[in-house]
Structure 1
Amino acid sequence: MKKKSSFSTQGRRADIGDLQIYRILANRYADAVGPFVFLDHIVPQAQTRVNEEGTGAHPHRGIATLTYILDGEDEHFDSAGNYAMVHSGGVQWMNAGNGIIHDETLNYDSQTGAKLIHAFQFWINLPAKIKAEKPGMAIEGDRVPFKMLADGKSWIKVIAGSYEELESAIPNYSEQFLYHVRLAPGSGFTIGFQEKTEVAVYLPVSPASINDEKFNAGDFIEYDRTAGTIELQNDNEDACDFILFGGEPYLEPIFAEGPFVMNSKLEIAHAYRDYYNGDYGKINY
């Protein structure tokens, strides 16, 4: 049985400097999909000048950040001493735990010379017991698990979680998945989900049909929690990208403010207090 869509919506502009960004999650209908509480889409754009400032050093607590670079390169520093340069197709993941400061800079890919940048940033909410732990090491994922689909022209990448024999290197603190599916013109792909699993699909660039409903480029669609399938169909003349993500419901209380996602207002206050006390350390560039 095909799952039914609960709602669809478009993101709102949340630009940073020269970067054109749409905030997809949280939105007016949903605060989370499984453990995912945040999604920014840095839309495809030609970079006219090198970005030297980045996001600026800023704190996080209670989440893991995941940056997926389709085109470009992302340079990461953090106060736990991690450094990584992730290029097109790579993933930068960081467990903020009980507090960390990081800085990211997105530019075009120096390895290819193409001036295009295109990326996604997700926040993954951590269980309370993990929020209390020390920050985890960043993971650079140049080799994201990948397989061709049955038509021999389409493919799936497993950014987080697993699919069939593919398994991401990113730790699973709860049941979660994040897939990037690219379908060739005229191709389709069907995937099944168990009952109670929260599932969303985002169409970053092109329109598409999902479970026989037509959606526009930029649409974010969430589905019901009954067991069932999602059928993706590309009726365009060019390849079409689909971002599927979600997981088991996050059952602990969620309190989000600024860069912190905790389980109570008091914990949010403690997150700010510890940051201003210097407990998160500092970045040594």
Structure 2
Amino acid sequence: MSNIGLIIEERAANIGNFLVGRLLPFREKRAVGPFVFIDHMGPAALNDFQNLDVAPHPHIGLSTLTYLLEGSIQHKDSLGNDIEIKPGAVNWMTAGKGVVHSERTPEYLRKTDKKLHGFQIWVGLPKELEQSEPTFHHTEASGIPQWEVDGLQYKLIAGDLFGRKSTVPVHSKLFFLEIKNTKAERINIGSELFGEVGMYILEGSVQIENNTYSSRQLLIAKNARLCEFEMAENSTVFLFGGEPFEEERFIFWNFVNSDREIIEKAKKNWHEQNHDAFPLVPGDTDEYVPLPKNLLNSKLSR
């Protein structure tokens, strides 16, 4: 009997002026551990007149994790942070009761050809932190644990695993791990994993119980403890997951929370541009992403 409970194909989604591959949420699987949303950006080649421009937009009840493989993004937020995200670094922003941020191509790259490739991830917060004060933490690539065993290259982007701990300040028991290889290898790390686990195949392929799975597929395991697979040569996979929350998390547009009423209040505050609830982003105040009209009067449902 296969340990793969679900196979999710990457699905195209438009985030404004940029096409991404959506992995989570999925109709049959809304979350994996505390991970409630994952977009795979690119790889995209942008011409000198093409730029990423995601105007200021709000979040509540989650932490955002931005991890780039290629390219650069300028992050600005309502806490006053203004920082360039480069490959290998991690931006971890905890929205709590409310934060606003923008993501754009840095000014010095806006008139040149460039590439963009990476992940945008939302991680739900424990119930007691959903209304906490927003915070922000940037970890340079040099601060992410990396090691090699038997030709396999590991990078612990966030969480705890293998007796190692990433410096990204997560709020629940989780892991986000990158594994790369150059030659075919069999891997059995089920004894290290916990909770729910998903595997995203970025490059190459993996074989599990005589079945081969290729790139741009997300595999959801039935049992993390049975995580054993063979990576074909020159493959890259990401393992992520952890302990799920007891309470259901609702997602409505950019808002995540275990309480529907808090989401309804956030909708109203953003639509009315209540800057007490959602402050302006210093240095990026000329525009914002409005609440979509089709969502204005719609109620959150399961």
Compute the TM-score of the two structures, normalised by the length of structure 1: 0.89
Question: Is the partner of 2:79 in helix, strand or coil?
Answer: coil
Q: CA deviation at 1:14?
A: 0.6
The alignment's C-alpha RMSD in Å is 2.4
Q: Counterpart of 2:9?
A: 10
Q: Which residue of 1 aligns with 2:245?
A: 250
Deviation readout 1:257-279 (Å, 9 max, x if unpaired)? 00000112211112223333222
Displacement of 1:81 in angstroms is 0.8
Where does residue 181 of structure 2 map in the other structure? 183
Q: Which residue matches 1:201?
A: 199
Bigger mean CA deviation after superposition, 266-275 or 100-109? 100-109
Residues 211 and 228 of structure 1, relative CA distance in 2, 3 Å threshold: farther
**Contact 1:42/1:119 (<8 A) preserved:** yes
For each residue in 1:168-226, what CA deviation from the matched residue of structure 2 results, as whole angstroms up to 9, or x when unmatched?
A: 1122321100001112222233212479710000112332223543112111110113x
Q: Does 1:228 align with 2:244?
A: no
Indicate conservation of the 8 Å contact 1:87/1:109, yes or no: no
Return closer, same or farther for 1:108/1:189 CA change in 2, 3 Å cut-off: farther
The residue that corresponds to 1:77 in the other structure is 76
Aligned-partner residue type, residue 158 of structure 1: L
Moved more, 58-67 or 82-91: 82-91
Is 1:273 aligned with 2:268?
Answer: yes
* Post-superposition offset of 1:57: 0.5
Q: Which structure has the highest helix share of the two?
A: 2
Equivalences for residues 1-285 of structure 1 within 5 A: 4-17=3-16, 19-49=18-48, 51-52=50-51, 54-106=53-105, 115-143=114-142, 144-151=144-151, 154-193=152-191, 197-225=195-223, 228-236=225-233, 239-275=234-270, 276=272, 277-278=274-275, 279-285=277-283
* Rounded Cα–Cα distance in structure 2 between residues aligned with 1:162 and 1:146: 13
Alignment check: 8 A CA contact 2:177 2:238 kept:
yes
Letter in 2 for 1:266: E
Deviation at 1:142, TM superposition (A): 2.4
Query: How far apart, in 2, do the equivalents of 1:274 and 1:156 lie?
Result: 43
For residue 66 of structure 2, what is the amino acid of its counterpart? T
AA at the equivalent of 1:253: E
CA distance in structure 1 between the aligned counterparts of 2:192 and 2:231, rounded to whole angstroms: 24
Deviations 1:20-49 (A, max 9, x none): 311100012200000000000012122223
TM-score by length of 2: 0.84
1:99, distance to aligned residue in structure 2 (A): 0.1
Answer yes or no: is the 8 Å Cα contact 1:146–1:166 preserved in 2: no
**CA separation in 2, counterparts of 1:60 and 1:191?**
34
Contact 2:43–2:116 (CA under 8 A) maintained in structure 1: yes
Partner residue, 2:296: none
Residue identity in the other structure for 1:235:
A
Letter aligned with residue 13 of structure 1: A
C-alpha separation in 1, matches of 2:214 and 2:41 = 18
Tell me how far apart the structure 2 counterparts of residues 50 and 94 of structure 1 sit (CA, whole Å): 29
Segment of structure 1 superposing worse, 131-140 or 60-69: 131-140
Distance (whole Å) between structure 1 residues aligned to residue 131 and residue 115 of structure 2? 38
The count of corresponding residues between Structure 1 and Structure 2 is: 277
Which amino acid in 1 is paired with 2:94?
Answer: N
The aligned amino acid for 1:191 is: I
SS of equivalent to 2:18:
coil
SS in structure 2 at match of 1:185: coil
Give structure 2 stretches of 5+ with no counterpart.
284-302
Task: Indicate if the aligned counterparts of 2:58 and 2:101 stay in contact, CA closer than 8 A.
Answer: yes
Q: 1:52 offset after TM fit, Å? A: 4.6
Inter-CA distance 256–40: structure 2 relative to 1 (3 Å threshold): same
Change (3 A) 1:23 1:106: farther
Q: Report the CA distance shift for 1:261/1:14 in structure 2 as closer, same or farther (over 3 A).
A: same
Q: Tell me, which stretches of 5 or more residues in structure 1 are unaligned?
A: none
Query: Aligned partners of 1:180, 1:161: CA distance in 2, in Å?
Result: 12
